[in-house]
Structure 1
Amino acid sequence: MRERRAYGTGCYRRRIELAATDTEARGELGDDFHHFTVEIAHDDERVTVIEGAPHRIPWTTCPGALAPLQQMKEAGLGASVLDLVRHTPPKAQCTHLHDLSCLTIAHAGRVVSGGAAERRYDVVVPDRVERRAECYVEVDGNEVLRWSLEGLRILCASDEDFETHSIGSKSFREVLASRSTPDATEAAWILQRAVFIGLGRQHDFDAMKTAREFAREVGGGCHAFAPERLDQGLRALGNAHDFSDAPDTILSQPRNHPFRAR
């Protein structure tokens, strides 16, 4: 698998914007490899309508995940993001579209309970140097959590309870769930997700023909990497962007970005 020559000189960035009214909510997520939106309607208790849109995708099979996304209907607005992730089997979903739907539903619940109508998450994960990186997540421009990592192990953290834990361990969910507030859990979960995805910056995806060439890294963990779709999923060429120096352009890319499949 060919590596990107520029790795080690920039950073992975992910931006998530959430907005809601009394009856609807919208989420938008963008990073180096993805750009999705999700919109929901609800009855104050449960999701009644959910729609997603893929604007920039890594594989041509990704839009097929819009169908299983409908399984998020009836999800409860009062559930935590960790519980929402388990509302439907995650391996049937597009990881990023599904994550965004969970965040959008959780945000709708916050607003119904009197929370602010809008929220923005910004995550920065620098390229690894000797396996180390210092990453952080901001909420509405304010840093709320920082981790110093070696591999997947947290060496130092702004919240000391995270220190010595591996973000790749099964027990890390318990660490997330033990945060003092749902907001703290949500921010840490977003940071954990971003650390994993940011490692993708090491790879030259446009040198790949099909999803099968990256399957070993993912392990069948989402819709596009289900065994029956590995050879159907062609690389969507030109859809990997570098936002190291341009965080404010992450969500300003053209909608329905055209792609060329190999």
Structure 2
Amino acid sequence: MLWRNQMSDVPFEGIYRRQIDLDAPDAQTVVGWLEDESHHFGLTLVHDGTHIRELRMEAARYPWSTCAEAGRPLQALIGKPLLPRASQLGTLADVRLQCTHLFDLASLMVAHAHAGRSHRRYHGTVEPLATLRPDAPAGWLRATLCRDGAVVLQWDLHEDRIMAPARHAGRTIYHGFRDWTETLDAEEAEQALVLRRVAFVSNGRRIKIEHLGSAAELGQAPVCYSFQPAQREHAIPIPNSRRRYDTKPDEMLAERRFP
């Protein structure tokens, strides 16, 4: 694909960051926020303890003009049950019709509501391993996931493959990944899914979209809302929508509010 070819020619530099905040202000509500370089979305999920009753979206920042409309297909989840595993939400709606990032956030919120947790924050980073270890092989990256301030998962990556730690070595973050995580307990699986998305989306900083006329020119398959045939021709890049948080993690999600 064109976008994969663009990515392979650009070196990864700096520290990519993604933060996700999940908060239950009361027994029937979960408020979630997600922010990284290209995305800043909020969701409010209202439930009755067993089923989803309402979903409200706020699109604070996004790369394509059509992303702000992605709350509409998410309404397919209204009336659906709360689930214990974030990965299970894909059984309730067609993921390809959704905004990937909004659906990721919703899946974590549904599991959060099912577990009855009060608050959780994830902070994922990706950076060149050579900045941490001078002897690191060329091109390797270090992906780290913190939950509520503590490191819970860390991988060394080369292209799409986990190289370390040994117990995960050889796995690709693309094909067959979910089959593997479904063998883990719910907490381990959730952490692996969050870090996988951090690693995958971090590659977006190596792709320039500002010069494109529409998403159709990127050559991406119809895997999410803005790349569906009905949207991609009029999905226009949003000027100056990217923000780098390499050295400013405290500025992320600094303006959380209820959508």
TM norm. shorter chain > 0.5: yes
Deviation for aligned residue 1:252: 2.4
Residue of structure 2 in register with 1:74 after alignment: 79
Check conservation: 2:33, 2:256, Cα contact below 8 A.
no
Deviation for aligned residue 1:194: 1.2
Residue of structure 2 in register with 1:126 after alignment: 127
Distance 2:10 2:174 in 1: 26
Matched, 1:152 2:153: no
Residue of structure 2 in register with 1:177 after alignment: 182
| Seq. identity, % | 28
Given residue 89 of structure 1, which amino acid in structure 2 is its aligned partner? D
Given residue 134 of structure 1, which amino acid in structure 2 is its aligned partner? R
Distance 1:49 1:83 in 2: 19
Deviation for aligned residue 1:219: 1.6
Given residue 222 of structure 1, which amino acid in structure 2 is its aligned partner? C
Match of 1:187 among 163, 187, 191: 191
Q: Give the unaligned 5+ runs of structure 1.
A: 256-262
CA offset digits 1:9-51 (Å, max 9, x no partner): 3121000000112111110000000000010111111111111
Residue of structure 1 in register with 2:201 after alignment: 197
Given residue 105 of structure 1, which amino acid in structure 2 is its aligned partner? V
Matched, 1:168 2:164: no
Matched, 1:19 2:20: no
Match of 1:213 among 206, 213, 217: 217
Q: Structure 1 pair 182/12, CA: closer, same or farther in 2 (3 Å)?
A: same
Check conservation: 1:166, 1:172, Cα contact below 8 A.
yes
Distance 1:78 1:182 in 2: 11
Matched, 1:101 2:106: yes
Check conservation: 1:176, 1:189, Cα contact below 8 A.
yes
RMSD: 2.1
User: Normalised by the size of structure 1, how large is the TM-score?
Assistant: 0.87
Distance 1:198 1:43 in 2: 36
Deviation for aligned residue 1:85: 2.5
Matched, 1:223 2:225: yes
Deviation for aligned residue 1:213: 2.6
Residue of structure 2 in register with 1:91 after alignment: 96
Residue of structure 2 in register with 1:9 after alignment: 13
Matched, 1:135 2:137: no
Check conservation: 2:129, 2:156, Cα contact below 8 A.
no
Deviation for aligned residue 1:87: 1.4
SS in 2 for 1:205: coil
Matched, 1:244 2:252: no
Check conservation: 1:19, 1:27, Cα contact below 8 A.
yes
User: Normalised by the size of structure 2, how large is the TM-score?
Assistant: 0.88
